Structures are given as C-alpha cells and as structure tokens.
Chain A
Amino acid sequence: MIKHLRSAADLDAATATLILDTAAEMAALSGREVKKLPALRGRTVVNLFYEDSTRTRISFEAAAKRLSADVINFSAKGSSVSKGESLKDTALTLQAMGADAVVIRHSASGAPHRLAGWVDGSVVNAGDGTHEHPTQALLDAYTMRSRLGRLDGLRVAIVGDVLHSRVARSNVLLLTTLGAQVTVVGPPTLIPLDVAAALSSRTRVSYDLDAVLPDSDVVMMLRVQTERMQDSYFPSAREYSRRYGLDMPRMKKLPEHAIVMHPGPMNRGMEIAPEVADSPRSTIVEQVANGVSVRMAVLYLLLGGK
C-alpha cells in the first residue's frame, strides 16, 4: 500500500480498485446500527485545514471516527496557524503529538508534498490550491461505478473551470487510470495548456458542450466562480451559463442511462439548472454519502497495517 495520498497519480489501477472495493465494504458496514469499527483504535488523525471546508472536514472526521481513530481538528482559525506559524513549524508540532495521519486542506498547490517531507505519518491531500483533491475523485469514481457498474470504457465529460479545478485534475488522472475516456469541456480560457500531455493521453478537449453530451455516460459539472468574470475568462455569467450550463434541454441530449454529477457546492442557475440538480439522474447527494465510505477506505488502507 502507498504511504501518502497526495495526488491521484499516486494510485495505480490496482490500488485505486482496492480503495473502491474497500469503500464498498465500508459502505455496507455503515448501514448497520453500530457504525463504529475498531480498526484504527489508538491511531491519531489530524485534520489540518487552512481553508474553510466544513463538508470535507466533517466527511474525514466521520470516516476517522467510524474507524475508532482519535481525531484532532486543527483549523486555521483560532489556532497558531492564524498567527503566522509556518507550515513547517506546524508540521513539527503535529509530529511531536504523534499524528499517524495528517489530512491537509491548503490554498497552496503542493502543500501536502511539502508536509510529507516534514512528518513521519501519512499525508492525505484534502484539496491543495488549484492542484488536486484525490479523495473527491475517488468518491466520484465510486459513485460512477455503483450507478453504472463499471469505469473501464466509460465516457466522462468534465465541464467548466478545469484550469482552476483540483477536482478536475484528480478526476482526469484517476478515471483515465481506471480505463475511462475523459473529455474536458469549457471555454478555451478555462482549459489548461497541454492537458492531455500533462495528465493523460486518454484526455480529449472540447469547447462544445452540446456536441459532447450525446456521447457521454457521465457529465460532471464543475463549480464556476463568478469572480472569474473580472479576470475576463468569460464575458458574463449569463453567457457562461448559456454556453456551458447544464439545463433541462441539454440534459435531454444525454443518453438514457447517463448520470449528472457535481462536487458541490453548486451555483444553481449558473453551471447547473436547479431542476437538473434535483433530477433522478443527479448523484449529488449520493456523492456526499459515498465520501465517508471512500475516506474510511483510504484511512484504513493507509493506517490499518504496519
């Protein structure tokens, strides 16, 4: 098993599949009355959050607690972090406290890589800047597999602000590792350079959402921040929504079996219409539930053994 989960690129197909299989067992166990499992008794998991993200933090917290780990939440607000303590000094503190794993959310790309150099425990990337969010990609893959039965050969469209999206980067890496065909879709200003060369040769680029939808098994809508308008990535929210938003007429272009995903939080009416978000094809609520199982699997596989 790997020691850290810093990037979806840390996972080969076998390891990624093991995580998804383990998550399935964890999901089954989560259905019962006594949800707690003893596997990580006596282990300490630190949630080190430099960005507010209640949903991701509580998902990791629930996962660690269900495995009986001790959880310490170290958030940027109300701690020495906000007094300007460096990441390295914080790392040395966590090290002294005997953290077996540090789950880190940080606004700087690569912060988990730096942290892994300063602590002995495992480092789990819970989102770093505009780089990656590998557990989100795992839960997305898990959701696709449970809805559609497979990942190999699946056609996935990832739509929106790919340039700034850590969810998109991790998903492209993980899904292509697991045999899916990914198309990133958005205005050219929001598609990063050399995306296929940088991430995976199984990646295609399109600027035309309507052309991609009929050949997609999954369409994943990314959150688009309206502030991008100020930087001229697109002219207006209205134009963005018209060209790249998923509304009912567009959803009808999808094949019958296709599903609609969103990592949340959504801008209803911007990248996704409310009636699409609430339709039976949407997996948005499921994604949240699957998040706990996937994170349990990750923590167990990183910390459960020697």
Chain B
Amino acid sequence: MAQPRADAPSKIILADSDLHRVVDRIAHQILEKTSGATGTVLLGIPTRGVPLAHRLAARIHAFEGVDVPVGSLDITLYRDDLRLKATRALGKTELPAGGIDGLRIILVDDVLFSGRSVRAALDALKDLGRPSSVQLAVLVDRGHRQLPIRADYVGKNIPTALSESVKVALTEVDGADEVRLIGGLK
C-alpha cells in the first residue's frame, strides 16, 4: 500500500489525554462485555499491541481489582505478505502461564486496517491452542477492510483515505502518547 512521504503534513487525532481516556473506555467495555473479565487473556500483537494490552490489564485491575493475564502473539511468520517485503525480524510470542486453551482471548492491536494482521493472528492462535472464543480490541479503526473482520472493541473510528496513514505512538515504544493522521491533507 502506498505510504505517505515522511515529510508529509500530519495532524494529531488523539493527544495523550484523549488516548488515555480511550484506553479507559475499552477497559470498561471489556469488563462489561465479559462479565468482569474472568477467564479472559489479553494477547498483544507486537509491536504496539503489547504495551496496549498491558495498559488495558492495568486499567482493568485499577477499576475492578481483577488480574487479567497478558501475553504477546507475534504474527510475522503467519503474514501473507512476507515475500513482498525484505525479511522482517521476529517479535516475541509469550503466552501467560495458564495458556489459552478454553479461555476467552482478546487480541489487542493499535490500528485495524485491512484485517490481514488479524487473520494472521487467528492462524497463529490456532497453532498455539484452542481458546473458547476470540475477540479483538483496537485503539483505532481506520476502515478499508479487505477481509470479513470486525473489532469487538474500538477506541476510535477514524475515516481515512488510502493515501493517508495512521501512526500510533506509545510512551513505552515511541516516548510519547498520541495518534497522528499523516498525509492526504491540503
């Protein structure tokens, strides 16, 4: 997909306080929709899905005192576009001690776009065990799905043009919390 140039104009969609509110809301929605997050595991998709999953777990703990196990699920080896790009380094796959069999898995990612990453994550998950159900939480849904996939929890819907890109920054990885829309502006 076409990437905007690095020096393309950008604007902030979510500043840090907005981003924190959005994370809080997703945490609340998870609690609500899963009846208190029991039997639930949060699996972040590297890179930024992992810190997001940890933040969600921390907020859930803060709100209800529940400890939700957190893990990471690297999807690199399952991607359908491996051969279109230079070889990628692998991220970490770390499952919580209790594993995933028979549990409700919530996949966590920063941006939902074509849906191909989520498909890869579902394939990866299937090789790791058999959850009772799988849900999806994303910070931003920018549209343009290429597969029949939708998120169960969406922080913010951002309608975008294909020529634009959405860049999520998180303190743990990027040193700041914000969401930017890059390119496509006059």
Contact = CB atoms under 8 A, between A and B. Distances in A.
A215 interface: no
Choose among B86, B87, B92 the residue with the greatest number of A CB atoms under 10 Å from its CB: B87
B82 A28 contact: no
B83 A305 contact: yes
A306 B127 contact: no
A306 B84 contact: yes
B93 A39 contact: no
B68 to A, nearest CB: 22
Interface string A280-306: 000000000000000000001110111
Interface string A35-47: 0111100000000
Contact of A21 (B78, B85, B89, B127): B89
Interface string A13-51: 000001001100110110011101111000000000000
B110 interface: no
A197 interface: no
Given A305-B85, A305-B88, A306-B83, A38 B123 contact: yes
A26 to B, nearest CB: 8
B62 interface: no
B90 to A, nearest CB: 4
B128 to A, nearest CB: 6
A36 B77 CA distance: 10
Nearest to A68: B77
Interface residues of A, number: 22
Contacts, number: 56
Contact of A38 (B78, B89, B93): B78
B141 interface: no
A284 B86 CA distance: 35
Contacts of A29: 77, 93
A306 B78 contact: no
A11 to B, nearest CB: 14
A301 B87 CA distance: 6
B86 A305 contact: yes
Given A300-B87, A301-B87, A36 B127 contact: yes
A32 B124 CA distance: 12
Nearest to B90: A25
A193 interface: no
B87 A1 contact: yes
A302 B87 CA distance: 8
A25 B86 contact: no
A300 to B, nearest CB: 7
Given A25-B90, A32-B127, A36-B127, A306 B77 contact: no
B77 A300 contact: yes
Nearest to A43: B83
Contact of A25 (B74, B82, B129): B74
Contacts of B84: 306
A1 B86 contact: yes
Nearest to A67: B77
B3 to A, nearest CB: 16
A94 B76 CA distance: 29
Nearest to A301: B87
Contacts of A300: 77, 87, 90
A22 B87 CA distance: 11
A164 to B, nearest CB: 34
Contacts of A28: 92-94
Contacts of B77: 29, 37-39, 67, 300, 304
18 contacts: A18-B89, A21-B90, A25-B90, A25-B92, A28-B92, A28-B94, A29-B93, A37-B78, A38-B78, A38-B123, A39-B76, A67-B77, A300-B90, A304-B88, A305-B82, A305-B85, A305-B86, A306-B84
Given A29-B93, A305-B88, 18 more contacts: A1-B86, A18-B89, A21-B89, A21-B90, A22-B89, A25-B91, A28-B93, A28-B94, A33-B129, A38-B77, A39-B78, A67-B77, A300-B87, A302-B87, A305-B82, A305-B83, A305-B87, A306-B84
Interface of A: 1, 18, 21-22, 25-26, 28-29, 32-34, 36-39, 67, 300-302, 304-306
